[in-house]
Amino acid sequence: MKNKRPYNFNPGPAILPLEVMQKAQEEFLNFNNTGLSIAESSHRGKDFEGVVQQAQEKIKKILNISDEYNILFLQGGASLQFGMIPMNFLNGKNADYVLTGYWAKQAVKEAKLFGQVNIAASSEDKNFSVIPEKFNFSSDAQYVHLTSNETIHGIQWRKFPDTGNVPLIADMSSDIISRRFDMNKFSMIYAGTQKNMGTSGVTLVILRKDLAGKANPNLTTMLKYQTHIEKNSLYNTPCVIGIYLTNLVLDWVLKQGGLDAVEKMNNEKAAILYDYIDSSNFYYGLTEKTDRSKMNVVYQIKDAAAEEKFISEAKASGFIGLKGHRNLGHIRASIYNAMPLQGVKDLVSFMKDFAKKNG
Amino acid sequence: MKNKRPYNFNPGPAILPLEVMQKAQEEFLNFNNTGLSIAESSHRGKDFEGVVQQAQEKIKKILNISDEYNILFLQGGASLQFGMIPMNFLNGKNADYVLTGYWAKQAVKEAKLFGQVNIAASSEDKNFSVIPEKFNFSSDAQYVHLTSNETIHGIQWRKFPDTGNVPLIADMSSDIISRRFDMNKFSMIYAGTQKNMGTSGVTLVILRKDLAGKANPNLTTMLKYQTHIEKNSLYNTPCVIGIYLTNLVLDWVLKQGGLDAVEKMNNEKAAILYDYIDSSNFYYGLTEKTDRSKMNVVYQIKDAAAEEKFISEAKASGFIGLKGHRNLGHIRASIYNAMPLQGVKDLVSFMKDFAKKNG
């Protein structure tokens, strides 16, 4: 595999569009005709401030976000947000969390340190193979938290619940910018950029101004959303190269035709892979058809002993990153925006061939 | 300046060695013969885990650090450390801080949220032009905190104080890996990597195991040093491209001959610039000779009105980033490890020429 570019099915950091990587390589020593690398560029310079502004505007355009929201580029990933959200908005009171898998559970664990957590719904009794349908929301909750796509368990919300006057907050790390959704339902969404939006090192936070205004003011400066709102994400030195790459990925999304075109392609890719799994006697899916993820396709071989062989032969054939999460096992194909249709078609061909030889 | 590489005197993100940038560019689409970019590489893959381990070993070698310490790569910069340190180690008790400039002040501000801060010494009455000589340390302090180099005020500790049994913690963001020091005096040092060690997005923390063991256990997972120690900096997705670049910069340091060779070169560069300023009737330094920084040379033109012209003509001549911090003004030349000797010599030539024309 030393000379061919493999298909990268890693869950994140994940595949990026080849033309984005080529552009970044081409201008790696000369960003914006400054004669410097982006990696050496001051975050206080107008060239980089332009990148931040452009990226913010493109996100607003792609996701159709109104001026009621601030677009922030932070650090620490969703894992730091799991703590920052209750530190800012829970503060000894109560909040509702929907338990849909590994990542929702991580969010719950951190929230419990800062207040009372009500599990408004859970699919743990179904091994997180489905999104719950009924919710026990509290009218006095500070917010409702959900995880739009569970990267490890491979399930994804199709329709988001109506939480009335209670602010809805979502971890969208693994399906941001993969499909259309109504931002007006949410007071805050957040996402590490290392799946659909760039490389790791940047956390996108989109926060409605009225929720931001209610935050706990007694926190260390870096953990207050208000700090980053006031300084437009430049309170301290952000991950400059990460924001730059995100900006290039957003250009690529627009060039594809924006969110609707990207969603159409994602639907097509997921259908090809799931249709084959559904029709196969060799592989089977681990999630309910109604809620299975279009980003992370989790499946198994009926003969579990063949899985290791599958992963290793797939790798040798140029399909990498198919091993499921270390905590769950199985096979997982992460097919984010940048995975080309051909990559999914070729994977299905490989799977058919493997099934024939090992079935 | 579109065709020539300018000399980059920015305070951070700052100049990086050209050969590091060239290597990163060359392998940008094919990291470690994986056929993928480092930006697309899983942080759980053995290739990237190898990068983390190599970088840790090189840091231990270059700085001569014993196995009593853990080497961590975190996110959020020194600014997040200003809060994390008191959250982990102060916890309602008292600590000593030495006030030497803008950055020490930021650290004090955050510590006050979590306990009692004793200013053990301050040079604020001298406009932070000097490092204090006498310290009023408390025997019951949880730790002593100092800032080894003040990036904005341009002063630098020459000799670190003996704090006995009280742990000494230092923010070394702007002079890490620029000179020899005895790590055994310190229980913890930390540094954003965007000055001498790479680009932004990574925070190096070197922490002695006995101090780590004393940390407050009731914090959100991401803010506990213990989390990152146990998971060897891979608890969540770190800034992969940033750690990769740091690893390349460390190779470059070793290739220069290690820390002693780098320090010798830094001494030479600083001497050339300060000697000229001292001998000039046109420019003058703002810091005491005994404590002036070898990383950030802060100076002024006697006719203050000429400063803007100086910055703008310097830029047109290929010397960028010379404008002082927005809070202090004046001229600042940041001459980190990667600034070549010729860059400083050429800057002095430009300064002489400017003085002749405007003196």
**Mean of pLDDT values over B140-146:** 98
Using one digit for the tens of pLDDT, what is the confidence trace for B111-121? 999 999 999 99
Q: Which residues of chain A lie closer than 8 angstroms to B43, CB-CB?
A: 13, 200
Q: Which residues of chain B lie closer than 8 angstroms to A198, CB-CB?
A: 39
Nearest to A6 among B28, B35, B221 (CB): B35
Q: Which residues of chain B lie closer than 8 angstroms to A321, CB-CB?
A: 42
Q: Tell me the shortest Cα–Cα distance from A200 to chain B, in angstroms.
A: 5
- Report the residue of chain B nearest A48, measured CA to CA: B13
Q: Are B334 and B12 in contact (CB under 8 A)?
A: yes
Q: Are A214 and A89 in contact (CB under 8 A)?
A: yes
With CB atoms and an 8 Å threshold, state whether A239 touches B242: yes
Q: Tell me the shortest Cα–Cα distance from A278 to chain B, in angstroms.
A: 29
Q: Tell me the shortest Cα–Cα distance from A238 to chain B, in angstroms.
A: 6
Q: Which residues of chain A lie closer than 8 angstroms to B236, CB-CB?
A: 76-80
Q: Tell me the shortest Cα–Cα distance from B194 to chain A, in angstroms.
A: 8
Residue ranges of domains in chain A, CATH in brackets: 21-255 (3.40.640.10), 258-358 (3.90.1150.10)
Nearest to A39 among B13, B78, B113 (CB): B13
- Report the residue of chain A nearest B12, measured CA to CA: A42
- Report the residue of chain A nearest B17, measured CA to CA: A40
Per-residue DSSP letter, A162: P
Nearest to B199 among A39, A110, A326 (CB): A39
For the entire predicted model, the pTM comes to: 0.97
Give the pLDDT of residue A4: 72
Nearest to B194 among A33, A82, A237 (CB): A237
Q: Are A88 and A202 in contact (CB under 8 A)?
A: no
- Report the residue of chain B nearest A76, measured CA to CA: B75
Asked whether the predicted pLDDT for residue B43 surpasses 70, the reply is yes
Nearest to B43 among A6, A13, A84 (CB): A13
Q: Tell me the shortest Cα–Cα distance from B312 to chain A, in angstroms.
A: 14
Residue A38 Cα distances to A24, A30, A235, A240, B87, angstroms? 9, 8, 19, 7, 33
**Mean of pLDDT values over B124-131:** 97
Phi and psi at residue B284, to the nearest 5°: -145, 150
Asked if the bond preceding A217 is cis, omega within 30° of 0, the reply is no
Give the pLDDT of residue B2: 42
Pick from A72, A75, A325, A332 the residue to mutate for testing the B interface (most B CBs within 10 Å).
Answer: A75
With CB atoms and an 8 Å threshold, state whether B194 touches A78: no
Asked whether the predicted pLDDT for residue B3 surpasses 80, the reply is no
Asked whether the predicted pLDDT for residue B236 surpasses 90, the reply is yes
Tokens of B205: 């923390």
With CB atoms and an 8 Å threshold, state whether A76 touches B79: no
Residues β-bridged to residue A70: A207
Nearest to A110 among B113, B220, B321 (CB): B220
Q: Are A119 and A138 in contact (CB under 8 A)?
A: no
**Residues in Cβ contact with A255 at an 8 Å cutoff, skipping those fewer than 6 apart:** none
With CB atoms and an 8 Å threshold, state whether B21 touches A28: yes
Using one digit for the tens of pLDDT, what is the confidence trace for A184-195? 999 999 999 999
Using one digit for the tens of pLDDT, what is the confidence trace for B287-312? 999 999 999 999 999 888 899 999 99
Q: Which residues of chain B lie closer than 8 angstroms to A14, CB-CB?
A: 40
Tokens of B307: 């400063």
Give the pLDDT of residue B157: 98
Give the pLDDT of residue B303: 87
Query: What is the per-residue DSSP string for A163-205?
Result: -TTSPEEEE-TTTTTSS---GGG-SEEEEESTTTSSSSS-EEE
Q: Tell me the shortest Cα–Cα distance from A43 to chain B, in angstroms.
A: 7
Per-residue confidence in pLDDT tens, chain A, 359 aa: 344 789 999 999 999 999 999 999 999 999 999 999 999 999 989 999 999 999 999 999 999 999 999 999 999 999 999 999 999 999 899 999 999 999 999 999 999 999 999 999 999 999 999 999 999 999 999 999 999 999 999 999 999 999 999 999 999 999 999 999 999 999 999 999 999 999 999 999 999 999 999 999 999 999 999 999 999 999 999 999 999 999 999 999 999 999 999 999 999 999 999 999 999 999 999 999 999 999 999 999 988 889 999 999 999 999 999 999 877 779 999 999 999 999 999 999 999 999 999 98
**Mean of pLDDT values over B163-167:** 96
ipTM of the complex: 0.97
Give the pLDDT of residue A328: 76
- Report the residue of chain B nearest A199, measured CA to CA: B39
Question: How far apart, in whole angstroms, are the C-alpha atoms of residue A154 and residue A333?
Answer: 10
Average pLDDT, rounded, for chain B: 96
With CB atoms and an 8 Å threshold, state whether B237 touches A77: yes
Give the pLDDT of residue B1: 39
- Report the residue of chain A nearest B316, measured CA to CA: A34
What residues of B act catalytically? 103, 171, 195
